[in-house]
Structure 1
Amino acid sequence: MYEDRGRLAALWETELDVFRAARPASHAEWERAERHMPDGVPMLWMAKWPGPWPVYVESASGAHFTCVDGIDHVDLCLGDTGAMCGHAPAASVAAISAQLARGSTFMLPTEDAAAVAEIMSSRFRVPVWQFSLSATDANRSLIRYARQVTRRPRILVHDYSYHGTVDEAYATLDEHGNVVARRGNIGAPVPLDQTTSVVQFNDVDALERALATREIAAVLIEPALTNIGIVLPEPGYHEAVRELCSRYGTILIIDETHTFSAGPGGMIAELGLEPDAVVLGKSIGGGIPAGAYGMTREFADRVRDSLDLEDIDVGGVGGTLAGNALSLAGIRATLSEVLTPAAFTGMIDRSTEWTAGVQAAIDEFEVPWQVTQLGARSEYSFRATAPRTGREAADADDFELQQYLHLHALNRGLLMTPFHNMALMSPATTAADVERHTVAFREAVVSLYG
């Protein structure tokens, strides 16, 4: 916890003045938007960006965007992974535009569907694929399928994991180890202790105790926590998860939506993981809504054999826009021509440079923070050592300090994610872009500790 709160408050006010002076056009747009949208934003979480009003985007290309005030920004948020391929990548735009001119949605397959399923199979080590509009949709479908084939009621998640807006995943553990709703869970439909079990990341013993009840239909996990800071798996953890799921008849679902940053096949390929099901979303569509979920042949056969054709459209899985032609055209082009293995090499190199720049400032001023890298994604947190659980990462959070650092960066033309201290690299991100952050981050550390 940063102790000099008076200094932090004064620095915050200084940066607010800089923001206000530089962004009158965004202010005008915000005043107009407030008349018909709460907080002047199309989704309420957009109000969490630092500053007295949001920055309004005029255009974007590659790793940069220009706001309505004409300011160029290096985008290190990239839609919190949704634009990991960069903004408006030429190959994706061409494929999406061409398909849009031919029709966007038919409730019928196109040739792109089989091609995309083949690409996904080769990268993520499961052979059978279905498509959705988001990773949230994909996770919901797999949870239903897992309950269907196991006839068990509960799912298990890691404390402080993130799986989109899946109801069952908004659970955490209180100080007594009881399952409770996470702070800010809006309008929860049922008490989460009825649907969900929660264990700490890297805690094999707790996982075995939960699975031994034989109530768990599915273990839904990120292979590394990413939405509470980056928490990496300890050696042997994933092997233990796989063995325990097999022993107790539980479906293992790995959500690679954020951890796709690890490489062209995510952490599944990097670590040789063996899930029963895989989820992807956000980044694979080239900027349009898209999601995908893959299954082993065994799991897919169990699902299909349990469903009657007459009822297959009313079972709560999918929707009329799922697997639409436009999304599949975007996925095919993005994975084939943009987020290629060669592109990941450069993205990871830039992330390594970003991590080194942050670490250099931490070391120079002996700041009690740490930085962790996961492929093309890196993040710093306000603790001296890397967290091993979501609870450890959450306990190190400091919202006011985070807001100051993000506003400081924004005033220097650098966009970080609004929810945590993450930077993501696209194929278009350059060493010069990273250096801009290195310089600005050191300046921020000096303002706090110099």
Structure 2
Amino acid sequence: MTLSDFISQQREVFLRAHPQSKALSEKASAWRGGVPMHWMRDWATPFPIFVKFASGAKLTDVDGVTYDDFCLGDTPSMFGHARSELAAAIAEQMAQGVGYMLPMPLTNVVGDLLRERFGMDKWQVATTASDANRAVIRWCRAITGRDQILVFDGCYHGMVEDCFVALYDGVAANKKGLIGQIHDQTQTTTVIPFNDLPALEAALATGDIAAVLAEPVMTNCGMIRPDAGYLEALRELCTRHGALLVMDETHTLSSAPGGYCLVHGLKPDMFVVGKAIAGGIPAAVWGVTPEVGARMDEAQARIGPGQSGIGTTLSGNALVMRAIHTVLTQIATQPAYDHMLSGAEYLVAGLNRVIAGLPWCTVHVGARVELVFAPQPPRNAEEMRRFLDHDLLDAFHLFLINRGVLIAPFHNMMLISPQTETEGIDRLVDAVDAFAHQYREFS
């Protein structure tokens, strides 16, 4: 059987099992592309799975198929679906009002919790990590008086225009497929390969970089770990050349209660986290060191009063504050992370066992695991792209879905929640094992 034949076979299996999702998809003409957000079509399935409900680490669709969910909304539901603690807190806050455009007593408590957990001194709230990153970039330029920011090839920091640049055959250009782009972002954004220390040194030595915006571990082009000492060198070079170091931990929050930076002793100037921070309620937070906070005050005094262009009236509302408080105090606890991290170790061991002898590998950071169709973990986005076989990815994802397993649709990310059961991990490993046997036939 060829890979193409296998994909056709798996599509037929999916079609037979999902008549209700198919019917609903055919009736979704009011939505452009049939879905309220185009990401919902980025799965390998011929039409979207329509969800009936989700709870814990499981999701059930309208056709009655129940899945072990290792996607978890691509991280917003990292701590599990339908958490009773969050449901109760949200219901209570709804009865007291949602949007005041004013703080409440709980606001101070949340600020203190953020400071204690993540180590940053001053905080602000945004509606999404995209908004937070956009605000941080603006502040970095205001503080330093420099225009350029530096990002890494293959990065994704949300819907932030400055970050939609990539390297094509080593040449920086606006990312392909970008809709409505009229500005050449390469004029104010420098892009270099991850883990390339000479390129990093050369870029920062120009003295015109306001900030480096990075994930400590790249997660959006396939998971790419930093080389030993690379992040420490990044920190030292930013300090030496007067650039601010911004760490976006929206995904790497899965590493520990305080994120990857805290557990690994990395000290950014600014810190961003979204998605899971409010249990899936749209929210993000960003924090800064005392030194950066003082420089922000100085920049604000120079700029003077007027519209800052940062933030929306929905940011920091009462519902968001209650959700963040609930996550920090009741959900994202050390015992929860202990379960997540041990589950990830168990998953990695199982995956490594069943892919032995294949040109595949696993990459593992915290509760996040990636199966990469490459013999060794790639060190940058260019290396990762060489192994992105989209037909093979489609075949793999369809096969897992037909076995009742969901992983993130964009590559092969698998996330362990505090409510993921060992039996669910075993079912995932068994499904990968079965696919590996199929792969040996058509490879």
TM range (shorter): over 0.9
Aligned residue runs from structure 1 range 193-204, under 5 A: 193-204=186-197
Q: Do residues 169 (structure 1) and 163 (structure 2) align? A: yes
Judge conservation of contact 1:127–1:297 (CA < 8 Å) in 2: yes
Aligned to 1:266: 259
Aligned to 1:315: 308
Aligned to 2:223: 230
Q: Please state how far the C-alpha of 1:323 moved relative to its aligned partner.
A: 0.9
Judge conservation of contact 1:253–1:278 (CA < 8 Å) in 2: yes
Measured in 2, the distance between the counterparts of 1:283 and 1:260 equals 8
Aligned residue runs from structure 1 range 112-131, under 5 A: 112-131=106-125
Q: Deviations over 1:91-123 (max 9, x none)?
A: 111111111111111111122222222222222
Match of 1:254 among 222, 228, 247: 247
For 1:120, the aligned partner's letter is L
Aligned to 1:215: 208
Q: Please state how far the C-alpha of 1:253 moved relative to its aligned partner.
A: 0.3
Q: Please state how far the C-alpha of 1:235 moved relative to its aligned partner.
A: 1.5
Q: Do residues 12 (structure 1) and 7 (structure 2) align? A: yes
Aligned to 2:177: 184
Match of 2:330 among 331, 337, 341: 337
Aligned to 1:425: 416
Match of 1:398 among 389, 393, 396: 389
Measured in 2, the distance between the counterparts of 1:411 and 1:337 equals 35
Q: Deviations over 1:12-32 (max 9, x none)?
A: 111111111111111111111
Aligned to 1:3: none
Change (3 A) 1:432 1:312: farther
Change (3 A) 1:102 1:367: same
Measured in 1, the distance between the counterparts of 2:23 and 2:310 equals 42
Measured in 2, the distance between the counterparts of 1:230 and 1:111 equals 40
TM value normalised by structure 1: 0.95
Q: Please state how far the C-alpha of 1:354 moved relative to its aligned partner.
A: 1.5
Aligned to 1:411: 402
Q: Provide the aligned C-alpha RMSD in A.
A: 1.4
Paired residue secondary structure (2:139):
helix
Match of 1:278 among 261, 271, 279: 271
Q: Which runs of 5+ in 1 are unaligned?
A: 1-5
Match of 2:294 among 298, 301, 308: 301
Q: Please state how far the C-alpha of 1:179 moved relative to its aligned partner.
A: 1.3
Q: Please state how far the C-alpha of 1:193 moved relative to its aligned partner.
A: 1.2
Give the % identical residues.
Answer: 41
TM value normalised by structure 2: 0.97
For 1:392, the aligned partner's letter is E
Measured in 2, the distance between the counterparts of 1:101 and 1:189 equals 45
Paired residue secondary structure (1:279):
strand
Aligned to 2:23: 28
Measured in 2, the distance between the counterparts of 1:202 and 1:170 equals 19
Match of 1:436 among 414, 427, 433: 427
Q: Please state how far the C-alpha of 1:178 moved relative to its aligned partner.
A: 2.4
Match of 1:384 among 369, 375, 391: 375
Which is worse superposed, 287-296 or 93-102?
93-102
For 1:409, the aligned partner's letter is L
Q: Please state how far the C-alpha of 1:172 moved relative to its aligned partner.
A: 1.0
Q: Deviations over 1:155-191 (max 9, x none)?
A: 100111120111111111121x321122322222411
Paired residue secondary structure (1:307):
helix
Aligned to 2:355: 362
For 2:60, the aligned partner's letter is T
Paired residue secondary structure (1:102):
coil
Q: Deviations over 1:138-168 (max 9, x none)?
A: 1000000000011111110011112011111
Measured in 2, the distance between the counterparts of 1:158 and 1:310 equals 30
Q: Which runs of 4+ in 1 moved over 4 A?
A: 308-313
Judge conservation of contact 1:88–1:286 (CA < 8 Å) in 2: no
Q: Please state how far the C-alpha of 1:311 moved relative to its aligned partner.
A: 6.3
Q: Do residues 49 (structure 1) and 43 (structure 2) align? A: yes
